[in-house]
Structure 1
Amino acid sequence: MAAKKILMLVGDYVEDYEVMVPFQALLMVGHQVHAVCPGKTSGQTVRTAIHDFEGDQTYSEKPGHLFALNFDFDKVKASDYDALLVPGGRAPEYLRLNEKVLELVRDFDKAGKPIAAVCHGAQLLAAAGTLEGRECSAYPACAPEVRLAGGTYIDIDVTKAHVQGNLATAPAWPAHPAWLAAFLGLLGTTITL
């Protein structure tokens, strides 16, 4: 397996598990991951938030960790990467207001490169206009945005993932085993024991 170069778009209050776990898992299998945030450079950090499902009407939110960025956002070009990963949390809500972020998402999609989005990451896909006629899972509260963007919201168990074409999506971090396996499949990564 040839190592792939993956871009991860993050921002303050990205969901802790949705940034930490994929970042470490993708590095573990030999891929290179550049975690970037608009307005920040390598070595700076973003704050994370821990979202949990504790029986309330929506998820709860607790302070997470500081996650260190390892590349400069201003140096990013989609053509330099093999795939894109978009974690959820509160970051996609405001990252979608950044035109360069939206252009990056569009560039990855136009090139047919694998894109993995989890939870509120679908907000970036919707804002970039990449969901027209496509199927997408996401946190249920994002279903209206998926539909308004012309996509079909896929309502699946929180531990499942959905793949259509170059897009691997999931409702939230409990889906990591299925979602990351689906993304690795799109990347052509095989793991042998």
Structure 2
Amino acid sequence: MKTKKILLLLAKGFEAYEASVFTDVLGWNRLEGDGTTEVVACGLHQALRCTWNFTVIPEMLLSEVDPAGFDALAIPGGFEEAGFYEDAYSDEFTQLIQAFDRAGKPIAAVCVGALAVGKSGVLRGRRGTTYHLKNGLRRAQLAGFGVQVVDELLVRDGNIITSSCPATALDVAFTLLEMLTSAENRRAVQERMGF
């Protein structure tokens, strides 16, 4: 079976938990599932400080990434106060997201990671969701990008998955796993992980 490479796109100020669900679920699949997934982390900086001051060193810089070498894109959310939108709204992020969408490859965004997807324009006229609290501020921002905002925990519109909060992160990762492999494999990995 061909290995499916997932690019984990990290903005400074990302939430470590929302990134870890992809490395864990897809890592479990590599060892305990069908063995076909590999996650590669990238970002604009050589070291990225998470929302809660945990620092991560990505395997690649975004400038080194060739989207053709990857099968899917995963985007965790983060906090404005930690500088998340400085990277998430950058031209480099936008262009990468657009390239994955043009190729019809899966794009999975957790919580406000959906705002980076919305800003790229690939969700215009499509269904999506994002963080649901803070008086609806984040959902209003997503709607401002031309997205049909849906009041659901997880929304899949074609190749794009968006979700409403950190609690949905595991569901996003498992949905991405299913898109890349199969429903049967997803169930097998969930069972092996104790879900």
Query: Aligned to 2:41, what secondary structure does the other structure show?
Result: strand
Which residue, 48, 73, 76 being the options, matches 1:87?
76
Tell me which of 49, 56, 67 is aligned to 1:67: 56
User: What CA RMSD, in Å, does the superposition of the two structures yield over aligned residues?
Assistant: 1.8
Match status 1:106 vs 2:124: no
Tell me, in whole angstroms, the C-alpha distance in 1 between the residues paired with 2:12 and 2:91: 17
C-alpha distance in 2 between matches for 1:136 and 1:11: 20
**2:8 aligned partner:** 8
Q: Please tell me whether residue 150 in structure 1 is matched to residue 146 in structure 2.
A: yes
CA contact (8 A) 1:95 1:124 kept: no
Higher-RCO chain (CA-CA 8 Å, sequence separation at least 6): 2
Aligned match of 2:116: 124
Match in the other structure for 2:19 = 19
Counterpart in 2 of 1:172? 165
SS at match of 1:84: strand
Rounded Cα–Cα distance in structure 2 between residues aligned with 1:130 and 1:6: 19
Name the structure where strand makes up a greater proportion of residues.
1
Q: How far apart, CA to CA, are the structure 1 residues paired with 2:94 and 2:174?
A: 26
Which residue type is aligned with residue 49 of structure 2? R
TM-score after normalising by structure 1: 0.81
Segments of 5+ residues of structure 2 without an aligned counterpart are: 31-36
Q: Distance in 2 between matches of 1:70 and 1:154?
A: 35
Residue 130 of structure 1 aligns to a residue in which SS? coil
- Greater share of residues in helix: 2
Contact map agreement 1:122 1:142 (CA 8 A) in 2: no
Give the TM-score, by structure 2 length: 0.81
Q: Distance in 1 between matches of 2:127 and 2:48?
A: 30
User: How many equivalent pairs are there?
Assistant: 173
Contact 2:23 2:39 in 1 (8 A): yes
Where do 4+ consecutive residues of structure 1 move more than 4 Å?
A: none
SS in 2 for 1:29: helix
The one-letter amino acid paired with 2:87 is L
